[in-house]
Structures are given as structure tokens and as C-alpha cells.
């Protein structure tokens, strides 16, 4: 059954990476990661710095997280400067929709994890040395495969989120042909490197703040909205670095 879930990914990847990706990757050669990082940093700074009421509202939105997800969609739409969070009902509804899209994208990851990691646990249940070794080996393979699938899904889902923001249609978040064509224009190598860079930045910031004793959790909560805006703006710039794919 799981193979059917991956057919759209496999077909689209083959078509747009191996066939069309090479001729379209020229667009992505002009993407400047450094400029994208600087632009995103300034965008996030302008969104909250000396705008204390907005920052406080966004912190509250991070607690009621669908609101912050809805606000990220506003950033994905390419609005500049960062918009005021005003229509709370719209932000909440669209945030829930984005959450649902994310959960749907997680289904292949969850299935792979359950199949391999769950099988490993069952194999190890007899608690004999051979069974335990077989279980550990299966779990290790499962973890590796789960990470690989999660990575591939994240590449596709990221552009799917932007398509949903731009079109307002949940179905466009799963328009794999258009998504993979767009990534092909950017260039798979450029796109993967760009996402890895922003992930490293976000992990470092979040990691440093979280290990600060006593107030670390509070600092994470305070920084979460501008960090989310920073990442959303960065992804938007990646998306807009090439012509939109119908």
C-alpha cells in the first residue's frame, strides 16, 4: 500500500529532475543565499522591532499556534513590509488549513516509521540475543529511511505551503507536478542548500536560547514569532527567485 503513496513523488521527481530539471536549473544559478538571509533578517526585524504591540500579539499567536501559521501565510504571499495581524478569524482558519496540509504531508513519514520501527520493536519482543539484534537492526534501518522520507517530503511540502498561500486552494499544496517543476527551475542543488542553510540558522538560534537556564523557555517564546517570520520570508524569496509555475 505504501508504494502508492509515493507514486506521485517518484513520477514527478523523475520527470522534472532528470528530464526537465537540467534545462530549467539555470534560473536557480542566480539565487543569492546571502542576500536572501539579509533581506529576511531585515524583514523580520522591521516586523517586530519597536512595534511592541504587534510583537506581543504575535507571541500570543505563537501560543495559539494556528494564528501564527496563518500569519506566516501572509508572509508567503510576498507582502512587504510585514502586514499587521488584524483579521484574526481569517488567520486562525487559514492556520488550521495549513496545519491540516502539514499533517497530510506527514502521512508517508508516519507510515514508514510505523512499518520499520514498529517491526523492529516486535522482532525484539522475545528478548533473545538474536531477536534483540534483529530488532535493533530493523529499527536503525527504519530511522534512516524515515529521515530520508521526511527530508524528501519537507522539500516538496515547503513549496506546497507557498502555493497554498498564493492560490488559497488546499489542492494546490499537493500539485506535485507544478511543485516539482518549480523546484526544477530553482535547481535541486541550489534549493536543497538554501533550505539546509536556513534550517541550520533556525536550529542554532533555537538551540542556544533553549539551553539558557530558567528563562530559556521564555526567550524561545519571545523569539519564536520573528524567527518564524524570518524563515517564512526566506522561503518566499526562494520561491520568487524563479517565475511562478502555473
pLDDT in tens, 85-142: 889 999 999 999 999 999 999 999 999 999 888 887 777 677 677 767 877 888 888 8
Which residues have CB under 8 Å from 195's CB, separation 6+? 154, 155, 158, 238
CB atoms within 10 A of CB 109: 19
Asked if 185 and 27 touch (Cβ cutoff 8 Å), the reply is yes
Distance CA 124, CA 147 (A): 22
pLDDT in tens, 155-207: 999 999 999 999 999 999 999 999 999 999 999 999 999 999 999 999 999 89
Mean pLDDT value across residues 53-66:
91
Annotated domain spans of the chain: 2-239
Mean pLDDT value across residues 32-42:
92
Asked if 31 and 133 touch (Cβ cutoff 8 Å), the reply is no
Amino acid at each position: 500500500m505504501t508504494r502508492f503513496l509515493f507514486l506521485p513523488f517518484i513520477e514527478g521527481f523523475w520527470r522534472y529532475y532528470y528530464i526537465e530539471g537540467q534545462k530549467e536549473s539555470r534560473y536557480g544559478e542566480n539565487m543569492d543565499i546571502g542576500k536572501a538571509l539579509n533581506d529576511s533578517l531585515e524583514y523580520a526585524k522591521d516586523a517586530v522591532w519597536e512595534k511592541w504591540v504587534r510583537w506581543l500579539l504575535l507571541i500570543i499567536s505563537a501560543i495559539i499556534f494556528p494564528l501564527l501559521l496563518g500569519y506566516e501565510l501572509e508572509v508567503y504571499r510576498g507582502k512587504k513590509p510585514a502586514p499587521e495581524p488584524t483579521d484574526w478569524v481569517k488567520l486562525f482558519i487559514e492556520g488550521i488549513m495549513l496545519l491540516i496540509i502539514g499533517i497530510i504531508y506527514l502521512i508517508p513519514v508516519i507510515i514508514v516509521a510505523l512499518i520499520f520501527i514498529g517491526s523492529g520493536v516486535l522482532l525484539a519482543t522475545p528478548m533473545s540475543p538474536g531477536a534483540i539484534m534483529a530488532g535493533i537492526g530493523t529499527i536503525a534501518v527504519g530511522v534512516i529511511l524515515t529521515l530520508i522520507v521526511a527530508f524528501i517530503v519537507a522539500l516538496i511540502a515547503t513549496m506546497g505551503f507557498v502555493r497554498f498561500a498564493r492560490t488559497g486552494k488546499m489542492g494546490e499544496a499537493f500539485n506535485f507536478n507544478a511543485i516539482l517543476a518549480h523546484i526544477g527551475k530553482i535547481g535541486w542543488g541550489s534549493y536543497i542548500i538554501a533550505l539546509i542553510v536556513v534550517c541550520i540558522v533556525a536550529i542554532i538560534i533555537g538551540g542556544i536560547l533553549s539551553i539558557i537556564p530558567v528563562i530559556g523557555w521564555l526567550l524561545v517564546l519571545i523569539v519564536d514569532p520573528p524567527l518564524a517570520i524570518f524563515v517564512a520570508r526566506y522561503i518566499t524569496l526562494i520561491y520568487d527567485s524563479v517565475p511562478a509555475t502555473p
